[in-house]
Amino acid sequence: MADPSDNPTLRAVLATGFRLVGRYISWHPVAFGLAVLGAGMFASAIIGAALFVGSIADTVLRPIIEEGEPAGNRAIVAGLALLGIATWKATGIVVRRTAAGYLQYRTQADVRQRLVDKQLSLTLAWYQQRSVGDLLAVSDADAQGATFVLAPLPYGAAAAALLLGTMVMVFFVDLTLGIIVLFSLVVVLAVNLWGSWQMFQAYERIQARRGDVSDTAHESFDGALTVKALGREDYETSRLEAKSQALRDELVTVGVLRGNLRAIVDTLPPLTSVVVLVVGAFRYDAGAVSPGDLVAITYLLSQLMFPIRLVGFVLWEIAASVAAWRRVGGVLDSDEVQQHGILEGTSDGSGADLSTDAVAFSYEPGQEILSDIDLTIEPGTTIAIVGPTGSGKSTLVMLLARLWDPISGVITLDARDLRDFAPSELPTEVSFVGQEAFLFDDSVSGNIGLGIITEGAVIKEAADLAAATEFIDLLPNGFATKVGERGASLSGGQRQRIALARALARRPRLLILDDATSAVDPSVESRIQAALSSSNMPATVVLVAYRPSSIRLADSIVYVEDGRIVAHATHDELMRTQPGYSRLMLAYERDAEGRAGNVSGAPL
């Protein structure tokens, strides 16, 4: 995201703003063209009306008033002409507003789509550096703010043309009056440019404050269970209130600034009209202008109030949009994109061969979590990864699923580097189930299939293997039951079983389970293991396990300590040769016995 310490100049802000506008226009040139056409129709109607009113004053009203000539058909013709001009003007308004509205909201949708596409292509390391609340603010408030300029832009372009046309017309009528009008417009432009710069600085702060509010609110709502359990509602409320008040203060500052700028800008056109009338009277006495000329100029200046205000509004909104775009661009311009190759996934009905060669990994530079990881896993085997807390087990299996990339070394699947797979191809062969089962606010079948697998029989078979059917059938609508956000209506064990079914439904060649059944009752876990063992699923299984029953079912065990593989052997061999493993297993068994005794009512 934009570095708040980076303070660009007004020239840089406007240059960025116009480039941004150019980018938006290139996305939807037809809509912009129609909006400008409508605005041009409106502007031409104003100029045409001014010229026509001046002409009426000289050719219709003056003869009637001064010479007593009858109006005749001239009044009817003049009325019809004015009606035609009004119809032309109304048509321009409709075309402009319709096209400009489409341009703004369609572009907002495009920006949000690009943000989502970009974010999903970035590495997990990028996500660790940013809060969810702030990313939500970027995708919502910043994406909206970055496109605000599109609403007034087409009319602003036509307003600029209208101001230019006014200058040409006034200079054509009289040089002296033209200089007066030009001086007024230069002052208005200077005020608007100064206001644009002030708006940019204010909106930089506002967008940051909106991110703070979104971040705090998301954190409070996401941690509602902890907040209520610890009785910290008042504290969280005061924390959000402080962030909201900081945002309110910034918005009030912008409101005051807009009000002051508008007061200045709105005052100049009437003052200019007064000066033009006074000077124009002298110019009329000198025979330089006619009454019709003065009427036309005065009428035109009276119609410039809103266009002048709009030009300023466009400049202010460009600055505000740049402030929002700097946060949007911070995401879109990120180079922390996970690189991919061109390999396609295969499903040859066999387990995958997995190997690592001198793999090392660190979350922070210079602080290795894993080092010298050399591992070979034969196809169709089940491997348990065991080690003390903090030894790097979860990190290792995340590397095997390519959720992270190693800082050195290579991980291969059937001799194919994981980094050589095309986007979305590796997950066709590898399924990963993490410690925390994340469910979407969808039905049970929707969470298992995720829009990829829709066959009911496949979903049912996966649920059977995960021992999930037994509780799914008891839900109000079975597989069609909505589970709520994050699966809120289900227990932790039920969520884990649905997450496991989701992985099994894809019939992966490599199944990676990171303590994926920790919340499942041991008896249910045993049934899951038995179902997997007796199924025709050929997957190679890698699991991080803590329960002795799960560990003993593995064909071999990888024992990890301090980020290194200490040994890779069977359970019995490790019990004989690795004191650390033996102590760990003894602790696991005591814990399992204690839990079993507690469940049966025996004292701990």
Q: Is the pLDDT of residue 360 over 90?
A: yes
The answer to whether 528 and 496 are in contact (CB under 8 A) is: no
Q: Are 95 and 38 in contact (CB under 8 A)?
A: yes
In a domain, 3, yes or no: no
Residue 60 pLDDT greater than 70, yes or no? no
Say yes or no to pLDDT of 222 above 90.
Answer: no
Strand duo 540-544 + 510-514: pairing:
parallel
Query: Is 2 inside any structural domain?
Result: no
Q: What are phi and psi of 383, to 5 degrees?
A: -120, 130
The reply to whether 52 falls in a domain is yes
pLDDT band with cut points at 50, 70 and 90 for residue 489:
confident
Sheet holding 556-561, edge to edge: 430-433, 510-514, 540-544, 382-386, 556-561, 564-569
CB atoms within 10 A of CB 395: 21
| DSSP alpha helix (H) spans, 57-72 | 62-67
Quick check: 161 and 41 in contact, CB under 8 A? no
Q: What is the pLDDT of residues 417-432, one digit of tens each?
A: 999 999 888 888 898 9
What total of structural domains would you count in the chain? 3
How far is 40 from 158, CA to CA, in rounded Å? Answer: 5
Instruction: Indicate whether 133 belongs to any domain.
Output: yes
Q: Angle between the 153-173 and 291-302 helix axes, to the nearest 10 degrees?
A: 160
Tokens coding 47: 């100029």
Cross-strand pairs, 126:
none
Using one digit for the tens of pLDDT, what is the confidence trace for 70-106? Answer: 556 666 767 777 788 888 888 988 998 898 889 988 9
Instruction: Check pLDDT > 50 for residue 306.
Output: yes
CA distance 253 to 244: 14
Q: What CATH number should be reported for the domain holding residue 461?
A: 3.40.50.300
Cβ atoms 546, 557 nearer than 8 A: no
3-state SS, residue 584:
helix
Angle between helices 492-504 and 456-465 in degrees, nearest 10: 120
User: Which tokens is 343 given?
Assistant: 């390999």
pLDDT bin (cut points 50, 70, 90) of residue 374 is very high
Nearest alpha carbon to residue 107 among 153, 74, 63: 153
Which of the listed residues 445, 474, 507 is the one where a domain comes to its end? 507
- Region of 287 (left: φ > 0; alpha: ψ -120 to 50; beta: rest) is left
| pLDDT of the residue at 140 | 82
pLDDT at 528 over 50: yes
Residue 422 domain flag = yes
pLDDT level of residue 351 (50, 70, 90 thresholds): confident
pLDDT at 601: 45
- Measured distance CA(164)–CA(307) in Å, rounded: 11
Give me the domain span that covers residue 243.
16-332
| pLDDT score of 240 more than 70 | yes
**pLDDT tens sequence across 171-196:** 887 888 888 888 888 888 888 778 77
Total residue count of the chain as it appears in this document:
604
Q: Do 346 and 244 fall within a single domain?
A: no
pLDDT, one tens digit per residue, over 113-155 is 998 888 888 888 888 777 777 788 888 888 888 888 887 787 7
| Whole-angstrom distance, CA of residue 145 vs CA of residue 142 | 5
Out of 488, 507, 526, a domain closes at 507
Q: Which of 332, 359, 377 is the last residue of a domain?
A: 332
Statement to judge: residues 245 and 282 lie in one domain: yes
Residues 112 and 72 occupy one common structural domain: yes
172 falls within a domain: yes
Report yes or no: 541 and 470 within 8 Å, Cβ to Cβ: no
Query: What Å distances lie between residue 236 and 109, 218, 407, 528, CA to CA?
Result: 33, 11, 39, 41
Is the pLDDT at 411 greater than 90? The verdict is yes
Find tokens 């990888």 and name the residue.
558
- List the one residue out of 436, 406, 417, 426 whose CA is nearest residue 517: 436
Positive or negative, the CA dihedral 430, 436, 442, 444 is positive
- Of 384, 381, 397, the C-alpha closest to 546 is 384
pLDDT of residue 271 exceeding 50 = yes
- Are 314 and 411 members of one domain? no
38 and 45 Cβ atoms separated by less than 8 Å:
no
Same domain, 222 and 247: yes
Same domain, 503 and 513: no
Cβ atoms of 152 and 218 closer than 8 Å: no
List the single range of 43-57, 308-322, 364-378, 548-562 with lowest mean pLDDT: 43-57
- 360 vs 26: CA distance, rounded Å: 45
Alpha helices in 350-477 (DSSP H): 393-400, 444-449, 456-465, 469-472
Tokens representing 296?
């036309």
Q: What number of CA atoms fall less than 13 Å from residue 485's CA on the CB side?
A: 2
The whole-angstrom separation of Cα 128 and Cα 123 is 9
Same domain, 73 and 115: yes
**Residue 11 resides in a domain:** no
* Mean pLDDT computed over every residue of the chain: 82
Give the three-state DSSP class for 484: coil
Q: Which residue has the tokens 């710069």?
A: 197
Q: Give backbone dihedrals phi and psi of 514, rounded to 5 degrees, phi first.
A: -100, 85
Nearest to 362 by CA among 120, 128, 122: 128
Residue 227 falls inside a structural domain: yes
Instruction: Say if residue 324 is in the same domain as residue 350.
Output: no
- What's the rounded Cα separation, in Å, for the pair 140 and 594? 50
pTM for the model: 0.72
Contact (CB, 8 A) for 591 and 572: no
Whether 137 and 53 share a structural domain: yes
Considering the domain architecture, whether residues 30 and 100 belong to the same structural domain is answered as yes
Nearest by Cα to 400 from 512, 491, 485: 512
Residue 369 φ/ψ, nearest 5 degrees: -95, -35
- Do 384 and 240 have their domain in common? no
pLDDT at 106: 92
Measured CA to CA, the distance from residue 25 to residue 368 in angstroms comes to: 48
Tell me, what's the pLDDT at 487? Answer: 82
Q: What is the CATH number of the domain that holds 251?
A: 1.20.1560.10
Same domain, 287 and 354: no
